[in-house]
Structure 1
Amino acid sequence: MNEKTVAFIRLAIPLYAMINALLLSLGYSPIPFAPEKVDAFITGLIGVISVLWAWWKNNNITPEAQGMQKALDDKKAYNKLKDI
């Protein structure tokens, strides 16, 4: 996970708890989600995001694609050496 995702999760969880506490202190019922439903939603969301990421990411499966990726990596390495 990248730092933005971790930061968002670290913000979302306490924010959810604070909103529930505020609602309770004002006499309203808390957010009507059971912790199990929140867990299931987060797990499902992570699953959907990971599937979309895997679909989007460039996966070089065929020999031709692997060869072209190697050529690209070699060219990038050459350009780095040339710039030094």
Structure 2
Amino acid sequence: MNKEVRNLIIRTLVLVIVWINMILVNKGISPLPIDENGATELISEAMAALATLWAWWKDNDVTKKARAKKEVIATLEHEGEI
């Protein structure tokens, strides 16, 4: 299984889970039995986790493509072209 097929399957499963959750919530069934304070804490923690991941990803060259671009820029700067 190549990477594109694997990513497609993962995205599709996440989408199905989100739709199932939304349908259950609209029918009044709580898939996650938590109270209002628990929901607030969960949302706050999720936002903090997403912000952390975004900042880490944004400030670091994680992918091969990003590292290659960084090398090209460094080379061009060294040669005085930038």
* TM-score when normalising by structure 2: 0.37
Structure ranking higher on relative contact order (CA contacts 8 Å, 6+ apart) = 1
Between Structure 1 and Structure 2, whose CA radius of gyration is higher?
1
* TM-score when normalising by structure 1: 0.36
